[in-house]
Structure 1
Amino acid sequence: MKLLLVRHGEASFNASTDAQRPLTQQGIRAVGQQVANPAIPWADFSALWASPYLRAQQTAQLIQTHLQERELALELQTHRAITPHGQLTQVQEFLLAQPQAGIILVTHQPLVSGLIGHFCHADAYLGEPMMPASMALLEGELAAAACMTLTQLEHP
Structure 2
Amino acid sequence: MRHGEAENSFSNDAQRSLTTQGFIESQKAGVWLNDTVNHIDYALVSPFKRARQTYEMVQSITTVAHTEFSEDIIPSGSVELVHDYIQVLAQERNLKSLIVVSHMPLVSYLVDSFCGQLRSILFTTASVARLDYDIEANKAVFGELYLPEK
User: TM-score when scaled to structure 1?
Assistant: 0.84
More relative contact order, 1 or 2 (CA 8 Å, 6+ apart): 1
8 A contact 2:29–2:58 mirrored in 1: no
Q: Does residue 91 of structure 1 match 2:92?
A: no
Q: What amino acid maps onto 1:148 in structure 2?
A: A
What pairs with 1:9-88 in structure 2 (closer than 5 Å)? 9-37=4-32, 39-43=35-39, 45-67=40-62, 72-88=63-79
8 A contact 2:133–2:141 mirrored in 1: yes
Number of equivalenced pairs: 143
Quote how far apart the aligned CAs of 1:42 are. Answer: 2.6
Q: What amino acid maps onto 1:77 in structure 2?
A: E
Identity of aligned residues (%): 29
Cα shift readout 1:2-28 (whole Å, capped 9, x = no counterpart): xxxx10000003432000000000000
Distance 1:114 1:143 in 2: 21
1:134 to 127, 130, 136: 127
Per the alignment, do residues 17 and 96 of structure 1 end up closer, same or farther by CA in structure 2, a change over 3 Å counting? same
SS in 1 for 2:52: helix
CA RMSD of aligned residues (A): 1.8
Q: Which residue of 2 aligns with 1:3?
A: none
Q: Does residue 153 of structure 1 match 2:148?
A: no
Q: Does residue 106 of structure 1 match 2:97?
A: no
Quote how far apart the aligned CAs of 1:121 are. Answer: 2.6
Q: What amino acid maps onto 2:77 in structure 1?
A: G
User: TM-score when scaled to structure 2?
Assistant: 0.87
Structure 1 stretches of 4+ moved >6 Å: none
